[in-house]
A and B are shown apart, each in its own frame.
Chain A
C-alpha cells in the first residue's frame, strides 16, 4: 500500500501551476462506488426529509438530532470516540447533499461538525476527546465556535477577549464578547478564543451553563434565517484549566487549521446548493408557458440553464479532485506513521491553496446560479412563495464567512508564493522557461490528439500565471513593487489561478469520461461543456492578466508581457451558442442537473 501510494505521482498543493496531471490521476464523481452512492442517497433522503424545516431556528436542534441518528455528525470522528469515520471522498458526498438543504441548516451543520467539533478532535487532550467527542458524534451535545469579535473579523488575532488565571490556579477567568456565533442559541459547548493575560491567543472549551456566559438576541440576518446567530458574552466566566484547548499561545494554529477544511466544505456545500437550484430552475423553465411555449425553449433561458450547469460542473470537477488529493495525502501520511489527526491536518494544510480557491469559486458560482434562478423565475423569483428568493438571500453569506473571498484570494496567492519560496515545488525553473519562451519566436506547432487545443489552452493558462506572478515577484525582489500593498493585483492573480484549476479539472474529467461506458450524457455534451468553459476562461484570464500587467509594468517590459499574453490566449473560441443549446437540451430533457 505504502509503495503504491509513494509511487503514484500525487500533485502537491499549489503545484498545479507548474505540473500537469493525467486523467487517471484524478478522481471524478463518476468514480464513486456503490457504498458511496448509497451514502449519497441516504443523505439526499435526509435532506428531502428536512426540507423547509431547515429554515426555522426552532427546528435546528431536532434536525441535528435526526442527523446524529443517521450517523451524519460522526463521520469525521474515529470509532474509539464514538464516531464512524468516512474517507474524504465520502465525506465530500455528504457535504454536497447537505448543501441542498435550504434556509440555514447547512450553516448549523457545518458549525457543529466542523469548527465546533474538529478543534477538540484535532487539538484536544485524550480526556477532552473522551468527554466531548462521543456526545458530539451523536448530537447529544451541540457545538459552536467563537472567534470573531465586534472589532476583529478578518483580523481575528486582534481579539480582545481575555483569559486570566484565577488566584488558586484552577480556572481561567474569561472576559469579553464574541459576535456572529452560529449555533449560539442552543449550543452546549463553545470553542472560544481568548488572550491569556491579554497577550497569548489560546483556545478554550466553555460549557453553556458556565456562570457569567450569556447570549445576545438573535441577529436579524439577510438570509440563512434558520441558523441561530447571536453574540456571546463572557463576564468573569470560570473555565477549568483542564479545558484549555491545545497549547497556551497557540490558538492561531487551531483557528487557521480548522478553516482549511471549513473552506473546502463550504465550496462543496455551495455545489450541492447550486445543483438543487439548477433542478428548480430547469423544472420551472419547463413548466412555465409564455407565448404558448415553455420558456425553456427560448435561447435566452437556455443560455442561463447551460451556464448554470457549466459552472457547477467545473466546481464539481474541482471539488472531487481536491477531495481525492486530500484523501490520498491522508492515506500516505497514515502509512508513514502519522496519527489520524496529524494526517488529516497535514493533508488539509498541504492543499490550503486549493481549499481557499474552492471556497471562493464555490460561493461565487452558487451566487451566479441562484441569481439566474431568480431571473428565470421572473416576477415569481421575487416572491417568497417560490424557493428562489430565499435561496438568493441564503447564498450571499458564502462569500463572507470562513474568511471573506477577498481574504481567501489574498491567501491563495500569498500561500503559493510562500510554498514556492520554501521550495515545495520548482517555481523559478518554469518561470524562467517562460521568460525564455517570451524572448524567442513564437513556434506555431500543429496540434494533434484528443482535446489537444484544450490541453494547450490549459498549459497556456499556467504559463500566464507564471508570467504574471514571475514578473511581479521579480519586481518585488528588485524593490520596485510591494505586492502586499497591491491587493488588486493579488485579486487578478487569484482569479487566474482559480480559472486555471477549474479549467484543468474539467479537462481531466472530460478526458477520463471518454473511457466510461455508462456515463449519464454523451461525450459530445461533455465536450460542449469543456469547450465553452475554456472559451470563457480564456477571455476572463486575458482580462485579469492585462489588468495585473498594466498595474505594475510599463514601457518595453509591458509590451513584451502583453505580446506574451496574446500568444498564450490563442485558444480558438468554440461556437458557444450551439454548445450551450446542446447542454440546455440535455438539462431540459432530464428536467434536472444531469451530468
Chain B
C-alpha cells in the first residue's frame, strides 16, 4: 500500500508570535520550528502503523523552502521511507493543495494523510482541497482508521458522539487526536534519516487566487478583577462604569 503524508512546518507551541511593524510579515527571528504536531503525531504515525500492518511505503510531502528540510528529515527519522519537497514559498492553502495534487495524481496513493489543521494558520483546508482536486473521498478530523483490502473504516468525533464511515480507497483523510500516539524517533532512525531519499522538485506554475496582506495580534487580555463578595456597591460600580454592561 502506498501512503502519502502531507506535512507542514510550524512555529513550536511556545513560540512568541510577533509581526513586522507594518504587519505585512511574521517575525521569524528567534522562532524555533517543529513539524506540525497533527501531521507528525497522528497522520504520520498512523501511516507508519498501517505500513507495518499491511506493507508498502510511506512518503512525506512538504511544500516549502530548503529551510524546511530539517523538519522533513525528522519525519524520515520517525520512519517514513522517502520524502519530496516542492521548492516554493506558499502563501495559501490552495497553492499547497495544488502542488500536492499535482504530485499525487500520477502516484496512485491508497491513502493521503494530513493533520486536521496546522497549529499556525489553523486553516483545515489543504486535505479537502487535495481531495477535490484529485476527485477523491475526503474524511476530516478522523480519530481512527483501519484498512482491510481497499475498504477503509474511519471514525470521527461529532457533536455528542462518534460517526463511523466505510469508504473505498483511495481516500484523503485529515487526522485528529486519537488516530495514533506520538512516536519518538530512535537513534538508528535519526542516523538513517540523512541516507533516505529527499527529492526536491520545482513547483508547477500556479497563480495564487489570494495573498495575505496584513497580520495583527489579538487585543491583549485584560486583567481579572476580584471583588469582595460582600462589596456589592463596588461590583455594581464596576459593571456600570468600567464594563458598561448595566
Size of interface on B: residues with Cβ below 8 Å to A:
18
Nearest residue (CB) in A for B78 is: A42
Q: Let me know if A38 and B188 touch, CB within 8 A.
A: no
Q: Measured between C-beta atoms, what is the minimum distance from A295 to chain B in Å? A: 16
* Interface membership of B77, Cβ < 8 A: yes
Q: Are B187 and A72 in contact (CB under 8 A)?
A: yes
Contact with A along B154-193 (1 / 0, CB 8 A): 0000000000000000000000000000101111101101
Q: Output the nearest chain B residue to A590 by Cβ-Cβ distance.
A: B16
User: Contact: A42 with B188, CB < 8 Å?
Assistant: no
A518/B182 contact (C-beta < 8 A), A35-B194, A71-B187, A84-B188 known: no
CB pair B182 A45 closer than 8 Å: yes
**Chain B: minimal CB distance from A79 (Å):** 10
- Tell me whether A86 is interfacial, beta carbon within 8 Å: yes
A73-117 with Cβ < 8 A to chain B: 74-75, 84, 86
Q: Which of B182, B186, B194 contacts A71 (CB 8 A)?
A: B186
Across the interface, which residues of A come within 8 angstroms of B194, CB to CB? 35
Is A368 an interface position by the 8 A CB rule? Answer: no
Cα distance A69–B193 when bound, in Å?
17
Report the bound CA distance from A520 to B29 in whole Å.
8
A591 interface contact, C-beta 8 A? yes
CB of A284 within 8 Å of the partner chain? no
A69 CA to B183 CA, complexed, in Å: 12
**A39 contacts across to B, CB distance below 8 A:** 187, 190
- Contact with B16, one of A42, A45, A69, A589 (Cβ below 8 angstroms): A589
Verify B70–A34 contact, CB threshold 8 A.
yes
**Is B85 close to A, CB under 8 A?**
no
Closest Cβ of chain B: how far from A189's Cβ, in Å? Answer: 23
Check if B16 sits within 8 Å of A34, measured CB to CB.
Answer: no
| Beta-carbon contact of B184 and A42 below 8 Å | yes
Contacts of B190 in A (CB 8 A): 35, 38-39, 42
A-contacting residues, B1-44, CB 8 Å: 14, 16, 29-30
Q: What is the CB-to-nearest-CB distance from B220 to chain A, in angstroms, rounded to a whole number? A: 15
- Quick check: is A46 within 8 A (CB to CB) of the other chain? yes
Contacts of B73 in A (CB 8 A): 34, 38
Q: In the assembly, what is the distance between CA of A208 and CA of B184, in Å?
A: 32
B74 sits at the interface (CB 8 A): yes
Q: In the assembled complex, how far is the CB of residue B74 from the closest CB belonging to chain A, in whole angstroms? A: 6
What is the CB-to-nearest-CB distance from B162 to chain A, in angstroms, rounded to a whole number?
Answer: 28
Residues in A with CB closer than 8 Å to B14 are: 591-592
Task: Give min CB distance, B148 to chain A, whole Å.
Answer: 29
Collect the chain B residues with CB atoms within 8 Å of residue A86's CB: 187
Please pick, from A41, A84, A589, A590, the residue contacting B187 in the complex, using a CB distance under 8 A. Answer: A84
Among A69, A71, A72, the one with the most B-chain Cβ atoms within 10 Å of its Cβ is A71
Complexed CA–CA distance, A106 and B30 (Å): 30
Q: How far is the CA of A35 from the CA of B191 in the complex (A)?
A: 8
How far apart sit A34 and B73, CA to CA, in the bound complex (Å)? 9
With both chains docked as a complex, state the minimum distance between the C-beta of A15 and any C-beta of chain B, in angstroms: 34
Q: For window 88-113 of chain B, which residues contact chain A by CB distance below 8 Å?
A: none
Residues of A that sit less than 8 Å from B by CB: 34-35, 37-39, 41-42, 45-46, 49, 69-72, 74-75, 84, 86, 518, 520-521, 589-592
Q: What are some 7 contacts across the A-B interface (CB < 8 A)? A: A34-B70, A38-B190, A42-B184, A72-B187, A84-B191, A520-B30, A592-B14
B: residues with CB less than 8 A from A are 14, 16, 29-30, 70, 73-74, 77, 182, 184-188, 190-191, 193-194
